[in-house]
Amino acid sequence: MELIDSLDRIARPYKNAVITIGNFDGVHIGHQALFREVIAKAEELNGASIAMTFDPHPLRVIKHNKKLSLITMREQKLELISASGIDVLICVPFTCEFAEMSAKTFVEDILVNRIGIKAIVAGEDYTFGKDREGNVALLRSYGQVLGFDVIISRWIASTSGEPDRISSTRIRKLVADGRVDDAQKLMGRFYQVRGAVVSGRDRGGKLLGFPTANIVFQEELCPRAGVYAVTVECLDRNFMGVANIGYSPTFSDHIFTVEIHILDFHNDIYGKKIRVNFVQRIRDEIRFSGISELSAQIRKDIEIARNILSQVI
């Protein structure tokens, strides 16, 4: 996949370009369906399949929502879009100036003249341009004049029996509620966070007998506090694990941590980057009477996690 991180770096229009445009946070099943339509149309036209996304998320610029948590950070989002088979990903730096661009200028100058689109695949509620003045009807009118097709993709319904369409908003709520197994059904994969292992409070191994790899969340979405069955990708392998997110109420120090005990693992991975896949929530955080009671519960959590993860790994 070719990655373009600035519109100025597009040297010439692409041949018979077919494009879809969006934030694609989560690169969920609905996004994946859009990419498949783009690829199929591009193959039909013997052209280039293109996805356009934005960095940072437009809501962080337009609404100054710096606290917006992301399902997929930039690195993972690019990997997932690349894995879809798209030929070109244009990652536009989203600025206040870009947000002021009119719908007409965006279509004529960017999509047609610079990218060379022959077709665009969009959802029914797609909007674009300053103050979202552009919509599907306007896009179709431009297409008739400027010579490109507008393909409206139907929303993908949830496979979990719920009537609402799959969306990044729904997935954010599910993860925030701790329903990571339900989020997996909408994404087609487990919710994943990444981070370098940092020093913790040095009590997991010495005090409890269960050493942990600690990571720090940045802008990614944090699942609800509690204990989770996870898989951990590190050292080119995939391990079972148990993650604790929260404040460890038994110790009363009120420090938020993300601690992962990797099962049957004895390597030193401080400073190394790991990927943690949240498979299923096991329980809430609980305040225990002391170290022995907490250690006994951790042993139970590990056995529950092994049973859950035996179906995954």
pTM to 2 decimals?
Answer: 0.91
pLDDT band at 207 (very low <50, low <70, confident <90, very high): low
Quick check: bond before 223 cis, omega within 30? no
Q: Which of 150, 161, 149, 244 is nearest to 203 (CA)?
A: 244
Q: Is residue 60 scored above 50 in pLDDT? A: yes
Give me the pLDDT at residue 149, please.
Answer: 97
pLDDT at 295: 86
pLDDT band of 205, cuts 50, 70, 90: very low
Q: What is the pLDDT of residue 202?
A: 58
Query: What is the separation of C-alpha 192 from the centre of its chain, rounded to a whole number of angstroms?
Result: 8
CA atoms of 250 and 281, how far apart (whole Å): 19
Q: What is the pLDDT of residue 253?
A: 63
Strand partners, 237: 234
Asked if 185 and 158 count as a contact pair (C-beta separation under 8 A), the reply is yes
pLDDT given for residue 136 in this prediction: 94
Is 127 in contact with 117 (CB distance < 8 Å)? Answer: no
User: Which helix or strand (DSSP H or E) is residue 231 part of?
Assistant: strand 226-234
Q: What is the mean pLDDT of the chain?
A: 91
Helix axes 168-176, 180-187, angle to 10 degrees: 160
Question: d(Cα 52, Cα 5) in Å, to the nearest integer?
Answer: 10
- Burial string for 271-286 (b: 16+ CB within 10 Å, else e) reads eeebbbbbbbbbeeee
Considering just the CA atoms, what is the radius of gyration of the chain in Å? 22
pLDDT at 301 over 50: yes
The whole-number pLDDT of residue 160 equals 52
The alpha carbon of 12 is separated from its chain's Cα centroid by a whole number of angstroms, namely: 31
Q: What pLDDT does residue 161 have?
A: 52
In this structure, what token pair is assigned to residue 75? 């690195």
Mean pLDDT of 182-191: 97
Share of the chain above pLDDT 90, in %: 75
Structural domains in the chain plus CATH codes:
2-153 (3.40.50.620), 188-309 (2.40.30.30)
- Confidence check: pLDDT of 200 > 90: no
Rounded to an integer, what distance in angstroms lies between the CA atom of residue 303 and that of residue 291? 19
- Alpha-carbon distance of 107 to 257, in angstroms, equals 46
**Model confidence at 81, in pLDDT bands (50, 70, 90)?**
very high
pLDDT single digits (tens) 245-295: 998 776 666 678 899 999 999 899 999 999 999 999 999 988 877 788 888
pLDDT for position 203: 54
